[in-house]
Structure 1
């Protein structure tokens, strides 16, 4: 087998032999062909392809060839994933590939037994699969000689890099990689694997961290010129790469109706249903089981054992359904799927592409997705998303600005790692990475010292009493995770852990027996151990309830998707199959919201109850920016959503023109609720003003606000739909 330009012949001959004879591949996929050259020469790269596009092999084959060619010893390659389940899923493949060359691969995360981790310290694997949190736990652990263990590193692969870059885990990952790079004593080649994103060049620049502009880098994306709605050229051999995906939108109106449709359609097929909340997963799972459908569940509050049992059983079954949150959106293998079903809409086009890519992998099959809208809002969101997808648009990945709380966390973690750090030398650990430049991070360092998080001995910094008090329990484990999770109770049936539930379900008043819904089954609560945050349950016949709270749980749609919803209401249909019910729902939505959209600009309406709304259709962040920038016109309640801003009841066209002129000259950052600040982990390790400023900058969309201010506005007395 030879590839275009001889790329296959550049791989290690032993690898080449097994690719042909063990995997049975007749050719490399285009992405794999094009990745060989740059990765063999040590370039940083982002490899871009849809789900099942062969990204793992595109990275690993040339990097293992480099390892053989240059005689790398010990742990030379890090493979970082956002999910433990994804690591577990990849391990067998990487053990196979490394085994062909007489090398080894191993996984290290919190679920791996202590004995196995100890063996890895003495018998270092060539490829180490881990999460950023586990990598940092290694750096701060007194049981790991991280300098010896990581001294042989040469490269790092970041799987699902777009999933990291869009939130604070990305900044955490970059900061940890800079520290690891300093320990290794050499620049690490960085390779990101990503699904389709709108700005791959910027994603690559971000992944390079301090190496941006200093190291050669390229985006490898054979299918870049193909719109997201079209088939990718590196679809699995034997599939139908030229077939357009089969997308249908239906309106069913309730979760119970969705269960009825799923139970009646596609019998004999293996179906993956995505829901946008854990509660919806539980309720739909129960409804499907009541209708005799073989059903499995997966979400983050189910125990690891419960999820693994469900995923294994689903992979082996045929006529069945697995209901999941985004936990199965990424590349975890659950076998050959026949169909993906989406309740309402995911928050992003990128998520939809990930989910769509779970299908169409077998010969003779086509990628497909059935949207079942269970609410009016969900229906409009689905129509808008499908319209944007059809236009070839995908969200750009934007790292959150000003990660000052991550700077605070990293400074504390570095002092744990090194025990004592020079007051003038700490910045060298991050090699000039933006958020850690001294002028940016110095106020954070001062605050940490002043508040006792760090102590000072001459020119040396070390962990202080306040950090010990707040984060010191369980060997500072809480310091390695960058998210604040609401407290949950562990649910046990005997000694078997079922999962975790919201404490409100265990404390609120109820009439009759207290029942939970978890793992798609009802449970009777028999005992609650409040001190140890555990509750014990027994199986029950129906009546259970599911609930979870989370900080920042409100879904915020982008300006582009909100604008697409406006286009739908103005008459543009998403170019997918619409059922009869969907067409009726579309007509109803346009009739009900007719007074809120105007092709010439934005609309200000007065409802029957006197409430005045400015329908910007600009997105939540733009509207929050506008609310802060129009103090003389906006209601004191400052309520906004994706589509509108609440104005004062006495606003007049004259007052409005004056307010808009003032706002156009000086936009303000949104006001931040103190509850939101408390939800920002490590916010207490920042000055209060910096914590609020961090969130305000993240909630702002000045460009979207300016666009809305520049559009003509029409005043109408028509009552707007609430």
Structure 2
């Protein structure tokens, strides 16, 4: 392709006319230019560009061109997103582009009314914006003729593909796409969009599913650069021509101090603050409001209306702050931002890149992020993350291993969809992809043995146990991929504010019971225990926020744990450090002086008998090491991401014997029974397979092997 004119020539001429005259674009962005040829040619692809890099248009324009060129009829393109809010945000744009060609685009997710769904089913829009869970609901619903509705389907766009692929929603998405392909009787063109991927080629192979090796595919990334960093580094898709902007690291010590800094800095600007928990969002929001700052909040436990009001008001305002969890990390448009502020450290470099990409979108502005650490440990984590980022490293997106519980879910969902499935033919529905191949047979046998499935005449169909466990409300829980902890819905009059943890409503307190929600304090006036509702009235101060949830602990990777060790050994990230941050980092280095050594790992023995092995290997590698060296590791509080606690009275001889045993083969970590109970659809697996599934996900054999290869230094200390 020789230039912008050639790129426009490859698009439908009506589309090109509107791009120039309606959007006012005289040229396309590099990603948009380079995506036209492969996408109009029907290739599978992963499109990489920074946040606000025009990825939606890079996929939509070629597909609309292909739609018109080949005369596609009915619903021919699916646009799949991980969040309903992102779908709502994208719908007006895609509807506008479709309108230019006389085509239609509609939304389908859990908030869409029944009447609107009927219109969609009757009209079959050309583009359907939806989630994987809603797609599966359509496949199993008795009210949807899925074969007729999807008969014209040709292509699927997966936005924020990395947000799917790194957890079980990715496996679920792949499985649903394979079933859709079989329903339509043709392979579906698959296009993934992402801003931050460390292994785009592997991710594209994963996204292709059963089409890998059979269909043409390419990664489209105009500014793709090779990583030269360390720590199992991966490619970082960041344009080298774009300056990184200004990154600053500060230490503030408390949420109240963070609010003071935020209120004093950058007045008159629009600021987006990311926090690592809903509780911190609420506490910071209240503190900012008390200081007279115009503040809006966004997190998963606020009502949809509350979040929409906050996002709309924030998009239209100027001198204000919006405080959010990762709900605003993805591509939801909240207008032009001046600043991003990060409280403590996100768990991944990829998350930081997404958040950094929210700034610097206007001409003449640069990307920026101010880190505010609430304690010394978070300051160390932030410094480690920024060090890895500066090395050009980003996490590879790797699908969780052994999703046996999803195999169980998918087989049950398929039997709902088809009513009866041949006991020797079910594997064909997924084209033999990874977990759905022959290795899934023991799971299906268990479903039959335990009554989840019945078998008759060589056919499988839904059994009484599946009816009992999942049959409520037309098997709705079978299409929901995660189990959420119980929460109470909070109302002020008839207005829903959000949801809160029931522990706040049951714990013993002195005085009136107050909640903190939507950045405001509320007095609890009545609790409807049966319907799980809580009614409140405004209060001045004193409210409290809490959510327990599953997986509350942030798990640090091997690479980030090792980067923290590098920081403790004296390496600073190449960002601006305030005097407070530099002083606290020096103090943190002094505190860990005994725990790091440039020549390998350290085992410390304190005078009180406490023995720790400082591996700096991350949670999963340390869990693997603890299981593999069980003869010398204490069974109580065995490890965190920095260290592993060893047994009292350990001798060097016993240590050498344990290392020799571990060298013959590493063991998977032990899994708590509570974790197995928290695994959605884990009850449909044999207990040993449920345990094995979680154990494989809690391990890091590569990181553990690296640690075992390091020399070990033994140090005796007089006190802690």
Query: Does TM, normalized by the shorter one, top 0.5?
Result: yes
8 Å Cα contact 2:81/2:160 also seen in 1: yes
Match of 2:716 in 1: 717
Q: Distance in 1 between matches of 2:671 and 2:242?
A: 49
CA contact (8 A) 1:229 1:244 kept: no
Tell me what 1:85 maps to. Answer: 85
CA distance in 2, matches of 1:311, 1:368: 21
Task: Identify the residue that residue 625 of structure 2 maps to in structure 1.
Answer: 626
Question: How many pairs are equivalent?
Answer: 713
Q: What CA distance in whole angstroms lies between the structure 2 residues aligned with 1:501 and 1:314?
A: 24
Q: Is the 8 A contact 2:621 2:700 kept in 1?
A: yes
Is 1:524 aligned to residue 523 of structure 2?
A: yes
Aligned match of 1:312? 312
Residues 343-395 of structure 1 deviation map (CA, whole Å, 9 limit, x = unaligned) = 01110000000000000011111000000001111111000000000000000
Please give the per-residue CA displacement for 1:181-210, whole angstroms capped at 9, x wherever unaligned. 111110000000011211000000000001
Q: How many angstroms apart in 1 are the aligned matches of 2:326 and 2:414? A: 32
1:356 corresponds in structure 2 to: 356
Q: CA deviation at 1:244?
A: 3.0
Does the 8 Å contact 1:106/1:127 carry over to 2?
A: yes
Counterpart in the other structure of 2:230: none
Q: Distance in 1 between matches of 2:430 and 2:719?
A: 52
Displacement after TM superposition at 1:428 (Å): 1.2
Kindly indicate whether the alpha-carbon contact (under 8 Å) linking 1:596 and 1:720 is maintained by their aligned counterparts in 2: no
Taking the aligned partners of 2:441 and 2:83, their CA distance within structure 1 comes to 33
**CA shift at 1:666, angstroms?**
1.7
Give me the whole-angstrom Cα distance separating, in 1, the residues matched to 2:51 and 2:166. Answer: 18
The CA distance in 2 between the partners of 1:466 and 1:511, in whole Å, is 46
Aligned-pair Cα RMSD in Å: 1.4
Gaps (5+ residues) in structure 2? 228-234
Partner of 1:661: 660
Look up the match of 2:239.
232
Deviation at 1:425, TM superposition (A): 1.3
Judge which range, 478-487 or 79-88, deviates more: 478-487
TM-fit CA distance, 1:2: 8.3
- 1:683 maps to 682
Q: Is the 8 A contact 2:608 2:719 kept in 1?
A: no
Give the match for residue 401 of structure 1.
401
Deviation of 1:636 after TM superposition, in Å, equals 2.2
In the aligned structure 2, how far is the partner of 1:2 from the partner of 1:14? 21
d(CA) in 2 for partners of 1:454 and 1:104? 40
Q: Counterpart of 1:692 in 2: which secondary structure?
A: helix
User: Post-superposition shift, 1:631?
Assistant: 1.7
Q: Distance in 2 between matches of 1:719 and 1:355?
A: 44
Contact 2:197-2:237 within 8 A present in 1 as well = no
Task: Write the distance in 2 (CA, Å) between the matches of 1:91 and 1:161.
Answer: 18
Measured after TM superposition, the shift of residue 467 of structure 1 is 1.0
Q: Which residue of 2 aligns with 1:412?
A: 412
Task: Tell me which residue corresponds to 1:330.
Answer: 330
| CA–CA distance in structure 1, aligned partners of residues 396 and 279 of structure 2 | 29
Per the TM alignment, residue 611 of structure 1 is displaced from its structure 2 partner at its CA by: 1.3
Q: Deviations over 1:233-255 (max 9, x none)?
A: 7xxxxxxx643311000000111
Q: Which digits, 9 at most, give the CA deviation of each residue in 1:429-457, with x for residues without a partner?
A: 111111111x2111111111111111112
Kindly report structure 1 stretches of 4+ aligned residues shifted beyond 4 Å. 226-231
Q: Take 1:290 and 1:661, find their aligned partners in 2: how far apart are those partners?
A: 60
Q: Which residue of 2 aligns with 1:236?
A: none
Aligned twin of 1:502: 501
Which position in structure 2 is the counterpart of 1:468?
A: 467
Q: Match of 1:665, SS? A: coil
Q: 1:693 to 1:123 in 2, by over 3 A?
A: same
| Aligned residues of 1:230 and 1:245 also touching (Cα < 8 A) | no
| 2-structure distance, mates of 1:12, 1:608 | 77
| Partner in structure 2 of residue 36 of structure 1 | 36
Task: Give the deviation of 1:140 after TM superposition.
Answer: 0.9
Q: How do residues 425-464 of structure 1 correspond to structure 2 at under 5 angstroms?
A: 425-437=425-437, 439-464=438-463
1:230, distance to aligned residue in structure 2 (A): 9.6
Partner Cα separation in structure 2 for residue 92 and residue 607 of structure 1: 63
2:341 corresponds in structure 1 to 341
Q: Deviations over 1:657-682 (max 9, x none)?
A: 11111111121100000011111100
The equivalent of 1:565 in structure 2 is: 564
Corresponding residue of 1:485: 484
**329-338 or 487-496, which deviates more:** 487-496
**Does residue 161 of structure 2 align to residue 154 of structure 1?**
no
What is the distance in 1 between the residues matched to 2:363 and 2:38?
31
Return the offset for 1:576: 0.2
Deviation at 1:4, TM superposition (A): 4.8
Q: Give the structure-1-normalised TM-score.
A: 0.97
What residue is the counterpart of 1:294 in the other structure? 294
Residue matched to 1:588:
587
Aligned to 1:238: none
Separation in 2 of the partners of 1:103 and 1:3?
28
1:593–1:720 contact (8 Å) kept in structure 2: no
Query: 1 CA distance for matches of 2:484 and 2:121?
Result: 31
Choose 179-188 or 457-466, whichever is displaced more: 457-466
SS at match of 2:407: helix
Question: Which deviates more from structure 2 when the two are superposed, residues 202-211 or residues 649-658?
Answer: 649-658
Q: CA deviation at 1:720?
A: 8.0
Paired residue secondary structure (2:484): coil
- Closer, same or farther in 2 for the Cα pair 1:455/1:231, shift >3 Å? closer
> What corresponds to 2:126 in structure 1?
126
CA displacement at 1:637 relative to structure 2: 1.4
1:597-643 superposed Cα distances (whole Å, 9 cap, x missing partner): 00000000123432110000111111000101112211121521001
In structure 2, the residue corresponding to 1:87 is in which secondary structure?
A: helix
The separation in 1 between residues aligned to 2:479 and 2:56, in whole angstroms, is 27
The superposition leaves residues 62-105 of structure 1 with CA deviations (integer Å, 9 ceiling, x where unpaired) of: 01100000000000000000000000000000010000000000
Superimposed CA distance per residue, residues 298-345 of structure 1 (whole angstroms, 9 cap, x where no aligned partner): 000000000000000000000000000000000000000000000011
Contact 2:195 2:237 in 1 (8 A): no
Corresponding residue number in structure 1 for 2:106: 106
Q: How far apart, CA to CA, are the structure 1 residues paired with 2:8 and 2:434? A: 39
Q: Is the 8 A contact 2:82 2:164 kept in 1?
A: yes
Query: Is the 1:297–1:519 contact (alpha carbons within 8 Å) kept by the matching residues of 2?
Result: yes
How far apart are residue 3 of structure 1 and its match?
3.0
420-429 vs 618-627, greater mean Cα deviation: 420-429
Q: Is the 8 A contact 2:141 2:417 kept in 1?
A: yes
Question: For residues 484 and 607 of structure 1, do their structure 2 counterparts lie closer, same or farther at Cα, with a shift above 3 Å needed?
Answer: farther
Greater displacement, 426-435 / 219-228 = 219-228
Partner of residue 165, structure 2: 165
Between the aligned partners of 1:608 and 1:515, the Cα distance in structure 2 is: 46
**Kept after mapping to 1: 8 A contact 2:153/2:188:** yes
Residue 232 (structure 1) shift? 2.7
Contact kept? 1:229, 1:390, Cα under 8 Å: no
**Alpha-carbon distance between aligned partners in 2 of 1:5 and 1:412, rounded to the nearest angstrom:** 51
Change (3 A) 1:674 1:76: same
Contact 1:627–1:638 at 8 Å: present in 2 too? no
Question: Paired residue for 1:186?
Answer: 186
How far, CA to CA, are the matches of 2:360 and 2:447 in structure 1? 53
TM-score by length of 2: 0.97
* Aligned CA distance change for structure 1 residues 181 and 555 (closer, same or farther; 3 Å): same
**Residue 644 (structure 1) aligns with:** 643
1:551 aligns with 2:550: yes
Q: Which moved more, 1:241-250 or 1:259-268?
A: 241-250
> Who is 2:231 aligned against?
none
Describe the superposition over 1:531-582 as per-residue Cα deviations: whole angstroms up to 9, x where unpaired: 1111111111111110001112211111000000000000000000000001
Q: 1:135 to 1:586 in 2, by over 3 A?
A: same
Aligned to 1:696: 695
Alpha-carbon distance in structure 2 between the residues aligned to 1:592 and 1:459: 67
For the 8 Å contact 2:160–2:194, the answer to whether it is kept is: yes
3-state SS in 1 of match to 2:663: helix
The Cα offsets for residues 377-416 of structure 1, whole Å up to 9 and x where unpaired, read as: 1111000000000000000001000000000000111111
Alpha carbons 2:314, 2:322 under 8 Å: kept: yes
